[in-house]
Amino acid sequence: MTEQLRLLAIEAARLGAAVCLRHWGETVHLATKSAAGDVVTAVDRAAEETVRAALLEARPDDGVLGEELPERIGTGSVQWVVDPLDGTTNYIRRLPHFGTSVAARSTADGSWLAGAVCAPALGMTWSAAKGLGAQLDSGSGEVRLPLALMESSVRLVGTGLSYDPGHRRRQLRELGTAMAEYTDMRRFGAAALDLCLVAQRSLDAFFEDDLAVHDWAAGALIAEEAGAVVTRSESAGASARWQ
């Protein structure tokens, strides 16, 4: 079952990402959500509608929890968790690190079953199914994660910052301690993609303590299935690291 869910997650994520890519660079309606810098576009909603339609056409009894639309309570065995446009700030600034994230979890025990993240401007789709490992498709077929990279002394960590000024100040104060194990850091601005970069082993770790479940749902499973150690909190974000 998990492999079928992975394939559906890939299909839905790619459809949502195609909506985002189609409108990339256009002037779209923009609004501020919870705080300055936390923005949403009309494309976010259109992409989520596309993802939801694909999921429910295939599995009409399932529930869907998205970022922009009201939650759909289902009677099926799966709840889908969707971030239609992760990296909205990147998107409106013409930075290519954005994508659509789709994950499936069991309604029986809450376990994460499958997920996919599609970054259309990068031409990359990451995916995983519980117990079956993680894959990357860059257009020439799937390769198993993590990738085989050159040996080096480089240790890279990724992170993100809160939209809340007080929370952000605390994160910056604590950054020096968090960096102690690493030689450098990267800040790409899309948690789902950051977690997938951990899955690749392009990043050695990622942490962010101000994320919603839709931000990390698919990426955390992909990193975990690649072999990284993952922690999740629906109220306090997620982290992933290689030991």
Residue positions forming the annotated binding site for Mg(2+): 67, 83, 85-86, 215
DSSP 142: E
What CA–CA distance (Å, rounded) separates 159 from 157? 7
Residue 130 Rama label (left phi>0; alpha psi -120 to 50; beta): beta
Three-state secondary structure call for residue 168:
helix
User: Where do the DSSP E strands lie in the chain?
Assistant: 30-32, 39-41, 63-66, 78-86, 99-106, 112-119, 124-129, 134-137, 142-144, 156-159, 184-186, 205-208, 229-233, 237-241
Q: Which residues of 24-50 are buried (b: 16+ CB within 10 A; e: fewer)?
A: beeeeeeeeeeeeeebbbebbbbbbbb
How does strand 229-233 pair with strand 237-241?
A: antiparallel
Annotation: binding site: 67, 83, 85-86, 215
What CA–CA distance (Å, rounded) separates 200 from 209? 22
Note whether 224 and 215 are within 8 A (CB): no
Residue with tokens 């960590």: 157
Q: Could you give phi then psi for residue 82, rounded to 5 degrees?
A: -125, 130
Q: Could you give phi then psi for residue 47, rounded to 5 degrees?
A: -65, -40
